[in-house]
Amino acid sequence: QVQLVESGGGLVQTGDSLRLSCAASGLTFNRYTMAWFRQAPGKEREFVAALHWTPIRTYAGSLKGRFTIDRDSANNTLYLQMNSLKPEDTAVYYCAVDPAGRLSRSETRYDYWGQGAQVTVSS
C-alpha cells in the first residue's frame, strides 16, 4: 500500500524560503514519477513540479527558478524547495505518484496522493 506523508508546511513571510518533504512508503514500482501539486483557496488544483525516474525534472513555467524538486532515493523522500515565496504561493501542497512513470502535468495521471501540507505566505 502506497502512503505519502507531506510535512514542512507553515506560515512564512514574503521572501522567505520553505522546504516541503514527502515521505513515501510502499513504492514497489520500478519506474515512477513523483510530483507536487497545489491548491489555493477557491481555485483548482494545479501542477507545480515533477521528477521523472530518468530523472528529468519539469516545472510550472511561472515557478521555475524559485522552486526546486528533488528526491532522496535512499530514504524515499521527495522534496520541494521553495524560495522567494509570495502571497500567491499560499496553498495546500500535495505530493503525488504516477506508478506508470509518465512525465505528466495532469493530475489525472497520478494515482496516489498525500493528505497535503498548508503553506501560507503573509505579505
Give the tens place of pLDDT for each residue, 69-122. Answer: 999 988 899 999 999 999 999 999 999 999 999 999 999 999 999 999 999 999
Predicted confidence (pLDDT) at residue 28 exceeds the cutoff of 90: no
Q: How far is CA 9 from CA 14, 49, 82, in A?
A: 15, 17, 11
Q: Is 112 left (phi over 0), alpha (psi -120 to 50) or beta?
A: beta
* 30 — pLDDT class (breaks 50, 70, 90): confident
Number of alpha carbons in the 13 Å side-chain half-sphere of residue 27: 27
Grid cell, residue 24, equals 513515501
**Per residue in 46-59, pLDDT tens?**
999 999 999 999 99
With pLDDT > 70 as the criterion, what percentage of the chain qualifies?
100
Three-state SS sequence of the chain:
CCEEEEECCEEEECCCCEEEEEEEECCCCCCCEEEEEEECCCCCCEEEEEECCCCCEEECCCCECCEEEEEEHHHCEEEEEECCCCHHHCEEEEEEEECCCCCCCCHHHCCEECCCEEEEEEC
Mean pLDDT of the residues in the chain: 96
Measured distance CA(65)–CA(82) in Å, rounded? 9
- What pLDDT is attached to residue 39? 98
pLDDT greater than 90 at residue 64: no
pLDDT at 113 (0 to 100) = 98
